[in-house]
Chains A and B, each alone.
Chain A
Amino acid sequence: MKAADSHQLLGAYLLGGLDAVDQAAFAAHLKQCAACREELAGLEALPVLLDNLPVPDAVSLTLDPRATAAPGTSTAAPLLARLASRRRKIRYRRR
């Protein structure tokens, strides 16, 4: 395996899914490669953070892209009314 490929095993090493051969190869690579050790240290907290999102929610992100989700039905009118009233209050205070 080329040197560049060895570094790249870091992603699947971190996320899981490497077979025994690649797992051993990357473990050996880590011992010799300070750059990968440093990079791994910076990424180590990632899996725990990812676990805050439940599996079904994460999987659904790959099934139905949010971009095509139903458009918002609510109107901005009540918000703009509140905005206008807040603006008046601010003007009043500044007077």
Chain B
Amino acid sequence: MPLDDDVVESIYREHGPALRRFVSSASKDPQTAEDVVQETVLRVWQHAPDIDGSLRSYLYRTARNIMIDNYRRAQRRPESLEGSPDAGGVREKVDELLTRVLVEEALLRLSREHREVLVALHYRRLTVNETAVQLNIPSGTVKSRAYYAVRALRTILDEMGVEQ
């Protein structure tokens, strides 16, 4: 049974901004981006019973498919063919963006303590000791948080259905 208006509206309110960020990075036209966001939420409404796992990653994947479909459709129209990149290139770009938002999403689901340590060690390339100073915690705590952070991240990514 499809979802009712309240549920659709709350999905849109809760996930709309994140979806819009994702779609906007692939589409320069704000109206097109908003169309993709709305279509994404509508498809969720239609397919709600089949969704298991993370709703957010389902939304992202759906938006990705809609963007690629739209692009294919636009390419079939002769007037827009000129100077357009090939479909493979577009898919690659959209998939790259999809992975990026899924990683971002997964990091946001970590606890703040785990996220801080992971970002310091992996992204900022700080040493354990530098991280300890920066976060004002003992270096033993940095090590144990790093351990629990990667385990938690693994679980989160599995729940989101991100293939590794």
Contacts and interface: CB of A to CB of B under 8 A. Distances in A.
Main SS class of interface, A: helix
Interface in B17-41: 17-18, 20, 34, 38, 41
Main SS class of interface, B: helix
A34 interface: no
A19 to B, nearest CB: 7
Interface of A: 5, 7-12, 14-19, 22, 42-43, 45-47, 49-50, 52-55, 57-59, 61-62, 65-66, 69, 71-72, 74, 76, 78-80, 82-83, 86-87, 90
A17 B150 contact: no
A15 B150 contact: yes
B103 A43 contact: no
A46 to B, nearest CB: 6
Contacts of B149: 11
A5 B127 CA distance: 18
Nearest to B101: A53
Contact of B164 (A7, A22, A45, A53): A45
Contacts of B100: 52-54, 57
Contact of A49 (B41, B128, B140, B164): B164
B122 A61 contact: no
Contact of B38 (A50, A53, A78): A78
A74 B23 CA distance: 15
